[in-house]
Each structure stands twice: as C-alpha cells, then as structure tokens.
Structure 1
Amino acid sequence: MVQFLTLGIAGVQLISLGVATALMLVNTHYLRRAARWRVSIAAVVTVGFGLSFWGMLLANDIPGLPPLSPSGWLIAGAITLTTLWLGYSWGIRRQTQLAQIYARAIDQWAILLCCLELVLLTIHSLIVYWGFSSPTAPVLIAGAVTMAAIAYRSWPNPSNWGLYALGWNLELLVAETLGMIERPIINLAIANMALGVIAQLAGDWWQRRTGQHHIRSSWHTIPLVYGILGALLRWGTFTSSTGLFFLTLAVIAIGVGRRQEKFKPLVYLALLGVSVAAYEILFYQLRQASGAGYAGDGLVAMAALGTAIMYAYRVLSPWLRGYLRFSRQELKVISHLHWVWSSCLLITASAYPIKSSLMVGFGTGVFLIQYAIFQGRNHQNQRLGEIWVYLGFLEVFGMRMYWRSTAVAQMLSGPLVPWSGAIASVFAYFIYILPWQRWGWSKRPWFLVAIILPLIPIWENRLVINPISLLIAASFYVLLAIVNRQIRFTYISAALIDWLLWRWFGELQLSNPLWYVIPLGLSLLYIAQVDPQLRQLEQKQQRHNLRLLGSGLICVVALFSNQWAGIVAGVISVLVIFAGLSLRVRAFLFVGTATFLIDVGYQLVILMFDYPISKWVVGLIVGIAFIWIAATFETRREQMNTLFRNWMNELRGWE
C-alpha cells in the first residue's frame, strides 16, 4: 500500500520499490516453512516488486545511457524476459523448496511479460501495415530475442501455449521484416504460405522424432492458421498465381489431415480446395485469353480440367491411397464426383455458342464416356455396373454436338443421312453379337443399346429417311426376335412397316383414310394373334377386345370414308366374316356381321330415297318374308331351337 503514496515522485518511488523488494526477499525467506500457498504468494509479490524496480529504473534513465525509445522498451522487455527464463531454468534445477517456488513465480511473471511483449509487437506491426510507422531494426531485434527466449523456455517438451507463442512471434518477425519491402501485403501472404508448409513439415518431423501418434493440437492448428491467414491476405487480388495460394492451403490441410483418422474430413475439404485452386488458375487464363467471350468455350475448358483431375485420381490411386490413407472406395467416390461435375459442364456447354473448343469437347467427352463404361466392367454389384454403362451411353447422346463436328459425322450428315437407320442397324447388330460378358460387362445394357440405337437416327431423320433403310431396320428387329425368341421385337418392325406404308401412300397422294387405317388395324390384329401374354387363358377377354378394336377400326372407317362405301364396306365385312368362320374367331364374326348389316341397311335407306318406288318393292319383300317366317315358325320351332343351341354351343368354343 505504501507504493501508492510514492506515485509521481520518481526518486522516492525507486527507493521505495528497492526497499520493498529487499524486505519481501527477507520475508519470503522466513516464510519458507509456512503453508506452501503463502510462500508462493510471497514469492510472486517479491518478483513483482523486483520487476517494478527494474522498470522504474529504466524509466528514470540509467546514468550513462540515453533515454529509452518505444523500440528500446521492446528490447528491454525481451532482455528481461530472457533473463527471467534463465533464472527460472536455474531455479527449477535446484533441490531446495524455496528455489523452486521462486522459479515458478519467475515463470508466471515471465509468461505475463511475454504476452505483453507479443501484444506490443503486434500493435507495432499493425501500425506499420496501416502506414503510420515504418519497421526498424530494434523492433526486429526485440522480436528475435523474444523468440529465442520462448524457444529456450519450451525446449525440449514444448507445450501448446509455447508453440502458439512461437508461431505468433515468428509471424510478427516475418511481418516486420517484410514491412521494409514494397507491396508488403502480398509478400506477407506468400510468406505465410511458406510458414504454413514449414510448420506442417515440422509437425511431421516432430511426430516421427517422438514416435507419438497423437501430438499436441498446436502442431495441427498453427500450419492451418498460417495458411488461412495467407489466403485471407491475398483476398481481393486476382493474378496468375493467386490460385497457388488455395493450392498451398490445400496441401497444408492434406498434410495435417492425414495424421489422424478423425481429421479425414479435413482431407476431403483440402481435396476440394485443390480442385478450386485449379479452377481459379483456369479462370484467370480464360479471362486473359484473346477473343474470349464464348461461354461454351469456357465451360468446355472447365470440363476438360475436371476430367484431367478425375484421371489423375485414378492413375495416382496407388500412391494416393498410401499418402492420404484413403481406401480404394474413397478415392473412387472422389473420381466419380469429378466425373459427374465434368459431365454436367460438358453437356451444359453444348447449349452455348462454342467458337474453338469443339474438338476439345469431343476429346473430353470420349474420356468421360470411356470412364463411365469401364466403371461398369467387372463391377462387384452387377446392377451398379449396368447403371454405369447406361450413364456412359446417355453421355454419348448428350454430347452429340461435339461428335457431329468430326469428319465421320460430317460425312454421315451428307448423302448418307437417308441411310442412317440402316447404318445404325449394322452397328447395333455388332453391338449385339460382341461377347460383352466374356469381356467383363453385363449383357443387358448393351442389348438395350442395340435395341434403341437404330430408332434414334430414324426419328431424327424421319423426313428424309430412305424406305430401304426402314426395311433394313425392320429386318434387324425381326432378327432379334428370332434369335432371342422374343416375338415382341417384331412389334417395332410392324411399326416401321406401317410408317413406311403411310409414307408411300402419302407419296401416291392417297387421301382415303382407309389406306392409312388398314396397316394400323392389321398390326393390332397381329399383336393380338402372337403376343405371348394375350395367348394365356386368363387374358382371353383382353385378346378378344384387341381383335374387336383392330377389325372394328378397319370396318368402321371403310363404312364411312368412301362414296363407294357400300361396295368397299360390304366386301371388307364379308372378308371379315369369312375370316371369323374359317379361323373360328368370334370377334371377326361379330364385327363383320355388324358391319355387313349396317352397310345393307344404309344402302337400303339410300335406295329408298333415290328411287321412291323401290320402297314398295322392299316393303313387299319384307312382308312376304315375315309371312313365311310366321307360317313356318310353329312347325319348325323345335328344329330352330335345336339349331340355335348347337350354334351357340359351337360359338362358345371359338376364340
């Protein structure tokens, strides 16, 4: 309390602090047998008085020495810190209890002084970078001495706080040094990246040296802090080298993350950072490229870069598994994600104008397709393997704009376009017959591709497709039906033949709808006749309905679509009736009979309106018919009933 009375009186305060220090030394000596906490408090107060005396002595100017400048105070603090820790090192090795108590008290005051020194150095560095001051040699000396003192105190078993203090001090020392150079911010960012790499390598070295699997957390944190700080310091600049900052940060994170299993998410994030850094470098090159401005070219370049990264993971997989401590499946997932990203970019690029990257896009697409298809080879999960093959062929379809720019595609886009269906059928045939299972793939996706392949060019070139090309494609599906014993493939052939006939009728300028309905109706009747499922007993009604639809479609259109409908409809209905009788098919008999009766009735109505006297003739004939039926009905009732029952019984046995 006496010290407060001497404030403002320099000489008296200096004497007072000296006397207080001496008294506390004596007091602590006599208290050495008291409770340990009492002695510890006394030792802390004693060291505090001693430091206060030393500080007041420096403030009042030591005789023969010039007054201390702010940087001089930093040097004095660093020297004092070093002295304290030397004293701590001497005291902690002593066997006496009092010496060890003083050593701990000195260490506590040294830690407090170290924090103050680092805070003051930090403030000075900020002032330098804000432009209010410039770095000086005394400040650098103070930082170096402080760092040496921290290193001396921490060796050989540094604590977390000791390592953090060293890292902080080193950052300040580098910042002060680089403050003397032009453009200090970007240089400081580069230096931080270098410090991050050095700290990460030092952590690896320390882990190998000590043989410890779990080292102090500061060995993991400090490199990351350096890297993040370097990335933040370069914020707002975009040059050809700024992507390297992200890349370096990612390398640091990988080095830290691979040390322990629980840090694996950090490795995932770092691998994402590697890709981001690569794209940042690419973005700069795209911005600087002459003639830039086509979004499609940029997207193609991005897709090509993603594809290169994807294959890098695949080619370097044996080395990466050991270095990153990843499993084969984890690396596969990363490669698959790059495949998805690159595929989306490449397909999206096709929606934008592309000036000079069509062939690059084609080559990128080839690699992406090859990757997907070969992922389906020898896959443990057959279903997933098939999905990969499907994805590969979907990408083939999605990158049509690129392969259309090739010489082969341009040749096909000329005189061979009408024959594209036939050419595709030939390719589909070879896809079908190749031994995919022997080569490691499932047969199913290739078989499906062979089915779909001819239909794509036929539909795309439907206006100019050659009739012979359609016949070849139809023959291909008939061949598939025969080889696979799957009659349903012929339905596609029937559809192609119907289309061929419709085109032919159109070229002949046949306008009667009956011409166009007959192929469709016959196709429906063909399906009803040969479909395996409809031939089952429980599908009998559905088969009957389909026959009614097919034959009814032809008969109804024939009945109402021609001025000579009476003759045409009559002939068709009679043919349908005879078909029903000969084939024992009820649907044909019902439709033919109904059509014939409607046609006869319709013709009688026309006849009566066109020739009035004919209605008397028709009426007379109908009357005579009714009289004959009435006269013979009673005598032939049993015979007619028997005939009707026999006919109905026989009809039930028909299809």
Structure 2
Amino acid sequence: MGVIVLAVATLAAASYLSGQGKGSKLWLRLLFWVLSFLQLGWQIPHFASVAIYGGMGLIAWTHYRLLSGRKYPVVSLLFVLAAWSLLLGRRLISATYSLPNYSLAIAIFAWLVATIYLSQARKTKVIALKRKSTAITNAFLGKVARVFCTILFIFSWLVSIRAGLLNSPLYFWQTVGISALAIHLFSQHLTLYWRKSDLTALFVIGLQTLYICKELIPNSIRNQALDFSVAVSQRSYFPESVFGVTLFPYVMLFVLIASWLYKQKKTQLALYSEDLTLILGIVLTSLSLVNPTWRSLNLLLSTLTLSYIVRIRQPMRNSLVYCTHLLGLITLVNAIAVIDPNLDLAGWGSICLGLMIIEWSFYLRQIGYKRSKVATPIKQSCWYFGLLLSAVSYTYFVAVNSAWGLLWLTAPLMLSLIAKYTANIRQRRLATIISCLALILVQILVFEQLPARLFCLLAAIGLMFVNAFNLRRTFVTVIHLGLAIALVASLFDPAIGNHVSSYREWLSVGGVIILLLYRLRLFLLKTSDAPKFGYISQRTAFGILGVGRETQNFKVVSKYLQAADYWAIFLIGIELLVISGLYSVLPNLKIDPYFGHYLVTTALLTVAILWRYGKQPNNLVLYTLTWLGGIFAAELVRLFASSSLVLATSNIILGLVALVIVVLLAESNTPWARLNLSYIPLLYAALGIFWRLSSFNAYTGLLTLGAAFILLNTQQSNEQINRLVKYLGFAGISGGIYELVIYQMQSASVGNIADSLTIFSLVAGAIAFSYRLLAWWYRQRSISTLFNLSLSQVVPIAHCHWAISSILKIIAAGIAIETNTPGLMLVSIATSFCLGVYALIQGRDIDPATTKQNNQNDWWVYVGLVEIVATLVYSRLIISKLSFFDPWRIVFTCAIALLIYQIPWQNFGWRSTPWQRSALIIPALMALITAEDISVLSLVISALFYLRIAYAQKIFAGAISAWDLSTGL
C-alpha cells in the first residue's frame, strides 16, 4: 500500500512541480518527495508517529521560512500538506484507535492552513484596489479555509478532551497545545480585523486553557494543594472556592490586554475587554464568597487591579475611582470581619466612624492642593464615602441605643472642619447643612441617657457656633437655639419627668423659656445697636486715624435675632394651642396644686408678648392678648366656681369692659390706637354665648341681651361687616327677650298653644313698636343714626318684627277659632288692633328728605284697614255677646265707611285715595258676606250710602247703579 501511495503522490506532484524554478520550489519538491518516501517505512515500530509529527514540524518550519519572501508559494505548500495528509490518513485508516494520539497533529495542520490563508488575507488588503478579482477569490478561499480549520480545531479539541477524560490525563497536554494554537491564530485574526468575536474567542479559549492546566498537575500534588488551601482558610466546605484566587491572574492578563488595546487606539475593543474582565471578576468573587479567606484575597486582588486600571486610564473616569474606593472599603471591612467575627454593633459603628475620619482627613489634606485630574475625583470620592460611612455607623448606634452614640459627634465635628477650611462655597454650605442635621440626629442616639444627653447637647451647642460662622443663615441659628432650648428643658427633666401627666409643669417651663428667649433677643438687639466699626491703630492705618473695618459678627447677630423670634413664636403657638384645648373643658378640670400652672403659663405668655410687642403691636398680637385675657379670667373664675354660666357671665362682663377700653385706646396716642380694636368685645361676646349654650334659666336671656348690647356698640371699619354685626345685635336683643319670655312661660305653665303664640305675637309687636318709636324720636331730634345704623336701616327691622307678629297672630287666631278655647282674648284682640294701627301709622310716613308723600305707603293703609276689619270679625267670632249687633252691622258699617270717606286724610299726612277706596268697598263686602240674612233696612241703608257718595262725586249714573243694586238685593 505504501508503494501505491508513493506512486500516486509522485505522479500527482511531478505534473506541477516539474515546471517550477529553483530555490524555494526545489526545497518544497524535495520535502514532498521526503514525505512521500516516508510511506515505505511504515512497518518500523513507532515510525508513523515520528513521520507524522516530524513531517508536520518540517512543514511548519518551511512555512515560517517562506513567510519573509516576496512571493509565497501557496499551491506548492498545499501539495506538501497533501503529502502529509496521506501519511495521517494512512495511519488513521490502519489504526482508528490511535486517533487521540494525533489530535494535536490535526490541530497543527488546521493551524498551518489557517495561517497560510491569514497571510494571504493580509496581502488581499493591499491588492484589493488593484486586482479586485484576485482579492475576491482570495477572500472566498479564506472563508472556506476558516470554516474548514474551525471544524478541525473543534474536532481535535473534543477528541483530546474525550481521551483525557476516558483514557489518560496526559492527553490534556494535547488539549493545551490545541488551545495554544487557537489562541495564536485568533490573536493574529484580532490584529488583522479587530473584531469583538475574536477577542471573545481568545477570552474563552484562554480561560478554559487555564482551567484545563489543573488537570496536568498530578493528583497527589493537587490533593496536597487542596488540603493546604483548606488548612489556610479553615473551611472545608466548597474547596473549589480557591479558584476565586488561583484564576485571578487571568483577570490581570486581560487588564493588560485592555491596556494594550487602548494604546492601539481601539477604544471600543478595550472597553469590551474590560467588560469581559468585569464579568469574570464578578464570577470569581462569587466563587470565593463562601470562604472568608479566599474572599478577602479575592477582594484585595480586585482592589489592586482596579487601582492599577484607575492609574493607567487617561482620562480618569470618576466611576472607576468610586468603584475602586468602594471595593477597597469592602475589602477592609471583610478583613476585619475575618479577624474578629464576633464584633458587636457598637464595635462596627466605631470602626465605620474611624474609617469616616480617615476619609475626611484625607479630604481635608487634599483641600490645600491644586486641582488636578487625579486629585479631584479621589477627593470627591472621599467626601461621598465619608458620608456613607457616617450613615452606616449611625444605623449601628441606633440599634445599640447607649452612650456609645456620643462617638458619633465626630461626624458633625469633621463636617464643620471641612466647612471651615474648604474654599468652595457650595461645598461649605453643604457641609454645614449636613453638620447641623447631624447634630440633631445625634441627640436621638443618647436621648434615653440623661448625662450623655446633656454632654451631647453641650457639645452640639459649642459646635453650632462654628457652623453659624461658616454659614450665616437663619436656619442655622434656629437649629442652634433649638439645641439650647433642648438643653434647658433637659435640665428640668430630672425634676419634672417626661410623663404625659407632667404636661402642666412643662407649660410653665415653656413660658420661662419664652421669657429667656426674649431676654436673649433684647441683649442681641443692644449688641447690634452698638457701633459697628472697630478702630485700628495709626500704624496699621498708614497714618489715617479712624479707618474702620466692619466686623462680620453683626450679620450673625441679626440671624440670631430672627431665630429667637421664630422659636418664641413657635413655643407661644404650641402653649396657646394646649391651653386653648384645656379652655374648652375648663369647668371639668380638677382644682389641685397643679392647676396653678395654667394661671402661671397664661400670665407668662401675656407678659412675654407685652414685653416683646408692647411698642410694636399688630392685630395678631392684639387678638392673642385678647384670647389670653379671656382664658386667664376664666381660669380665675374656675378657682371659685365650676358653672359654665358663671364663665359666660364673666366673658360678657369682659366684653362690656372691653368696650370702654377700646374707646380709651382708640382716643390715645399710642401704636395700639392704629389697630383694629373693634373685634375684641366681639370675641368676649362670642365666648359668653359659647359658655351659656348648655344652660337655660331666668338669666340666660340677660346674657344674650348683654352680648347683643356689645354687638350693637361696636363699630367696624368695613361697612358690610358692620351692618352684619348690627343686625346680629338686633337679632340678639329679640332672642334675649324671647328667652326671658319663654322661661317665664315655662314657669307659669301657659295653657294652650294659641295663648303661647299670642304672647309671642305680643312680644314681637312690642319690639316693632319700640324700634319704630325710637326711630321716630331720633328723627324728631335730627339724629340720623341708631347704634351706628341709619334710621332707614333700623325701620325695616321694626317692619320684620311687625310681620312676624302678624303671622303669629293669624296662626293663633286660627287655632283659637278652631278649638274655641281662647285664653288671652282681650290681649289677642288688642294685639291685633295695635298691629293694624302700626300699619296705618306707617302708611302716613313722609320722606324727611323730600317731604313728599310716598305712593307705596298706600299699601300700608290697605293692610292696616284689613287687619282692623279682621280684628272686628275675629272679635265677633270669639265673643258670642256681640251677636246683639248682628242686625245693625250694615248700618254701623255704612256709618263708619261714610265717616272714613268724609274725613280729610290729607290734612293728617295720609293720601285720601286708599281711605276712600276702602270706604267704598267695605259696605259692599259686608252686604255680600251677610247676604243670607240681610234685612230690607240694611239694603236701604247701603243704597243711601252709595247715593250719598254718588251725590258727593256728582255721578248720576253711579247713583242709578247703586239704586238698582239695592233694589235687586
């Protein structure tokens, strides 16, 4: 078989190589013949393996020797590879079981083919513009060769892996060799095309190569290494976690590769390489998490690697700096946890504080340096991670809840130092704000321990002075005074306690603190009014005496003035809210030794407000003092009586006294005179009504009248409000009178509802007559107002009461007629008659401005006459003795009508028209009403009446009509 193969190969190559020149082609011809003649030594033991690997070695040497030439004999070398393929094929056909022995040779063959066409691909880029057809052919052949070689590489790798797993670990040497050839090939491909796929292949192949290398280590040595790692880590669980450290050099290798790619200006590939490295680093870290020792080493190596990346990357990326910094902190914390796994929360909080101090100390050290691309990101990283560490340590101290929390004072201290020494205004403002907030938060850590709390507050107050000068803002001084107030309150804590039941004592303490705040404000005000220029010496002033420089302290003083005012107002509001809530339940409060705190608190608040705003009052201060005065008076009354009626009386009395005080203040030449004083009596009147709502007796009506009197005697600046208040006052008068009447009716047990309504009607009518007469009396004396209301506004109030009285009287009359039980008969008739007279009197009213009669008043005449007629009818219905006049009612009606018609009403202020019209219709109506039993005499009298009227008017037709009417009737 060897002779046959030799003959076929010789004849196939002779036809091509016989015409080639000398030099390299002669060597290739000789190499071809040598490989062909090796077929003859196949019977020699181990000759096939030597021939196959030796031949491949000669071909590889020839390939690299020819690469430097100007023209590469591709076809000739392929014939040589064909001869070698015959050797390999013959061996595999004759001994299939020996395939694993030649997997490396197959890979070398694929590598050579791929390398040949890779070299041609480089030349294709050069000749692509000159010989497009040749370039296209070479590109096509290159793709075919790439696919062919890829298949051979994968096949040989799988064969070697299978042999290593099933036969002998020595076969893994071939796997490593195959991987090395693939790495070399893909590295060449990467430098030619710069593709991410080639880089990914290099990453994966290299990683698996590194992993397979462990199989090359003898089992005994490998077991010893694993035992050693277990002994070092003191963990037997998951010993493979050591790979998180042993495979880490590969991460460093790819970091170097990424750096090389950056130098080659392949930024995208470099970033992709870093991403691959990051993924591998995360995987390795995950592997080592279960073992504290390897986890610590992995984190340390990761930190060092990232530090190297940060140093070599230009421009520096802030995200890398922050990641490196964070990883370094994690590494350090993990190492501490490994060294002392039983560290308690207080210890961890102290460690985090120590790290925070280191971070911010480094930040302070960097402040004086000039800004650079390296220092600035590192400095900012120290700032942010210092904040993170302070927050983490705070959570630990909150969980501990002990005096260890005092250590956290170092956080605001460092922040204040940063604010003091930094030149960046924004950074100074931010550091100061965080420091102020931290000084508030640290109080929570030691709130339960009184000595620690006092020390913490003292330290915070001292540190806030620094913050106040670092940032001259009002909210800083507000926090400063808030801490001082907390210190004062803490001093009272041992004596009072913080129980809910001790709120009364705290009210008094709050009043004292308010006075102290206003005393501090007064002191600061005097300081700010002092001369604001400090004089310097003549030498310093260069011979100019009196040159001054304004100190900056006065800006801080003005902020403390505002803060003192804000805190005092806040505390006044809180205390006022509390005592106002107690005011609503004042009658139910127990009189005990602690009751005096209410009086003391109210007095202190009043004194404090007068001290602060006595010379600069405003309406809010005025109403607050009014409210406090009402509360104080109620508290004094509560010492002697618990009745709400007594409290109502005291408030009404206060309202009456306030009327006098308001007049005196309004006439004085003080700032109080410019305020809206008119609401003060109204407030007391409202309180009086509030306290009397739950009571009803003989005196509640008087209280209502008192409140109404207060309302009527106040004058509001707004006309609409003033009118509303006056109307409410008049309504209060009516309500008070009705209350008195109703109580008397209840006491007297009035018989029926008709009598009750009659009394109500009488009261309403009396009120109407009173207002109307009062308006008339004022008008006669040329007084145009009543209770600061014009008389034209008072008269409608009287009319309203007249209307109410009339409606009530009509209802009462209906009920009395239906039940036939009139009790107050004469009162009822008199009331009805008076209501009619009221309407008639209103009908003669003359406009005082124009002295002209008002035609609209005719309706009052009609209503008055109707009401009088209705009164007469009602009287007849309820008084049976008046039936004596029934036969003569037409006569009396005609006589009265004639009298009404003849009287010259215009001489008395009325218009005669409504009277005469009413006189004409009254007899006719009476005749129609009594048509069933009317007598002839009554008809004759009616006819004579109308004849008289017709004669007076000289209307003959009217007389004839009247006569006909009478005859018909």
TM tier relative to shorter chain: 0.5 to 0.7
- Counterpart mapping for 1:589-628 below 5 A: none
1:306 maps to amino acid: A
Distance, in Å, in 1 between the alignment partners of 2:521 and 2:706 is 40
1:363 is matched with 830
Map residues 77-92 of structure 1 onto 2, 5 A cutoff: 77-92=510-525
Which residue of structure 1 lines up, in the alignment, with residue 916 of structure 2?
447
1:55 and 2:527 are equivalent in the alignment = no
Structure 2 residue 477 is matched with structure 1 residue 14: no
Gaps of 5+ in 2: 1-437, 531-553, 847-851
The residue that corresponds to 2:184 in the other structure is none
Distance 1:211 1:75 in 2: 31
Q: Which residue of 2 aligns with 1:372?
A: 839
Q: How does 1:456-605 map to 2 (within 5 A)?
A: 456-486=925-955, 487-499=957-969
| CA–CA separation in structure 2 for the residues paired with 1:119 and 1:468 | 85
1:473 and 1:493 in contact (8 A); partners too: no
The answer to whether structure 1 residue 388 and structure 2 residue 860 are counterparts is yes
Give the letter aligned to residue 374 of structure 1.
I
Separation in structure 1 between the aligned mates of residue 671 and residue 949 of structure 2, nearest angstrom: 67
- CA 1:236–1:5 in 2, change beyond 3 Å: closer, same or farther? closer
Q: Deviations over 1:362-400 (max 9, x none)?
A: 322333222211222254454212111111111112222
User: What letter is aligned with 1:289?
Assistant: A
Deviation per CA, 1:19-53: give whole Å up to 9, x if none: 3323434654x55xx7xxx2433332332222121
Q: For 2:742 and 2:882, locate their aligned partners in 1 and report how far apart those are by CA, in whole Å.
A: 36
CA distance 1:184–1:393, shift in 2 (3 Å): same
In structure 2, relative to structure 1, the CA distance for the partners of 1:268 and 1:303 (3 Å cut) is: same
Cα deviation 1:251-275 (Å, max 9, x = unaligned):
3333345544131123223322322
Specify which of 538, 543, 564 is matched with residue 106 of structure 1.
Answer: 564
Structure showing greater Rg: 2
CA distance in 2: counterparts of 1:496 and 1:425, whole angstroms = 14
Provide, for residues 448-469 of structure 1, a one-character-per-residue CA deviation record: whole Å limited to 9, x for no partner.
1221232344444445544223
Q: 1:492 to 1:166 in 2, by over 3 A?
A: same
| Structure 1 residues 532-563: Cα deviation after superposition (integer angstroms, max 9, x where no partner) | xxxxxxxxxxxxxxxxxxxxxxxxxxxxxxxx
- Note the C-alpha offset of 1:410: 7.6
Partners of 2:743 and 2:585 in 1: how far apart?
33
Aligned partner of residue 454 in structure 1, secondary structure:
helix
Deviations 1:275-297 (A, max 9, x none): 2222222222222214x132221
Matched ranges for 1:112-151 at <5 A: 112-125=570-583, 129-130=587-588, 134=592, 136-151=595-610
Evaluate the alpha carbon distance shift between residue 211 and residue 331 of structure 1 in structure 2; reply closer, same or farther with a 3 A threshold.
farther
Write the distance in 2 (CA, Å) between the matches of 1:8 and 1:242.
54
Q: Give distance in 2, aligned partners of 1:17 and 1:162.
A: 33
The aligned counterpart of 2:476 is 42
Secondary structure in structure 2 of the residue aligned to 1:104: helix
> Structure 1 CA distance, aligned partners of 2:911 and 2:900?
13
The 5 Å alignment of 1:18-29 reads 18-25=458-465, 28=468
Amino acid at match of 2:863: L
- Give 1:66-85 correspondences, 5 Å limit: 70-85=503-518
Q: Deviations over 1:125-176 (max 9, x none)?
A: 5665455775622332222222222222221332233223323323332343
Q: Taking CA–CA contacts closer than 8 Å with sequence separation of 6 or more, which of the two structures ends up with the larger relative contact order?
A: 1
Q: Is the 8 A contact 2:508 2:601 kept in 1?
A: yes
Q: Determine the structure 2 residue equivalent to 1:571.
A: none
**Identity over the aligned pairs, expressed in percent?**
27
Pair 323,165 (structure 1): closer, same or farther in 2 beyond 3 Å: same
Which of the numbers 400, 405, 421 marks the counterpart of 2:872?
Answer: 400
Residues in 2 aligned to 1:274 and 1:490: alpha-carbon distance in whole angstroms: 58
Q: Distance in 2 between matches of 1:213 and 1:25?
A: 38
List per-residue Cα deviations over 1:575-608 (Å, max 9, x = no partner): xxxxxxxxxxxxxxxxxxxxxxxxxxxxxxxxxx
Contact 2:587 2:642 in 1 (8 A): no
Task: List aligned pairs for 1:184-223, cutoff 5 A.
Answer: 184-209=643-668, 216=675, 219-223=677-681
Contact kept, 8 Å, 1:417 with 1:461, in 2: the verdict is no
SS in 2 for 1:352: helix
Structure 1 residue aligned with 2:188 = none
Structure-2 residue corresponding to 1:303: 761
Does residue 324 (structure 1) correspond to residue 781 (structure 2)? The answer is: no
Does structure 1 conserve the Cα–Cα contact (< 8 Å) formed by 2:689 and 2:704?
yes
Q: Residue type of the partner of 2:625?
A: L
Q: Distance in 2 between matches of 1:216 and 1:387?
A: 48
CA contact (8 A) 1:258 1:323 kept: no
C-alpha distance 127-286 of structure 1, shift in aligned 2 (>3 A): closer
2:695 partner SS: coil
Match of 1:313 in 2: 771
Matched with 1:173 is 632
Secondary structure of the structure 2 residue equivalent to 1:22:
helix
Tell whether the 8 Å contact from 1:114 to 1:146 is kept in structure 2 after alignment. Answer: yes
Bigger CA drift: 484-493 or 420-429? 484-493
Match of 1:547 in 2: none
- Aligned residue for 2:899, secondary structure, equals helix
Cα distance in 1 between the residues matched to 2:933 and 2:812: 29
Closer, same or farther: CA 4–352 of 1 in aligned 2, 3 Å = closer
RMSD: 3.2
Could you tell me how far apart the structure 2 residues matched to 1:444 and 1:491 are? 22
Among 679, 683, 692, the residue aligned to 1:234: 692
- The equivalent residue for 2:529 is 95
Distance 1:438 1:161 in 2: 60
CA distance in structure 1 between the partners assigned to 2:640 and 2:845 by the alignment: 60
Unaligned runs of 5+ in 1: 63-67, 500-655
Match of 2:891 among 399, 405, 422: 422
- Contact 1:196/1:227, CA 8 A, preserved across alignment: yes
Shift of 1:331: 1.9
Task: Give the TM-score of the pair, scaled to structure 1.
Answer: 0.66
Q: Which amino acid aligns with 2:609?
A: I
Q: Which amino acid aligns with 1:364?
A: T
For the structure 1 residues 268 and 180, does the alpha-carbon distance in structure 2 shift closer, same or farther, using more than 3 Å as the test? same
SS of 1:350's equivalent?
helix
Contact 2:659 2:710 in 1 (8 A): yes
| Structure 2 match to 1:617 | none
> 1:122–1:420: structure 2 CA closer, same or farther, 3 Å change rule?
closer
Cα distance in 2 for residues equivalent to 1:372 and 1:475: 31
- Alignment match, 2:713: 255
Shift in Å, 1:71? 3.5
Deviation of residue 412 (structure 1)?
A: 5.7
Q: Is the 8 A contact 2:758 2:828 kept in 1?
A: yes
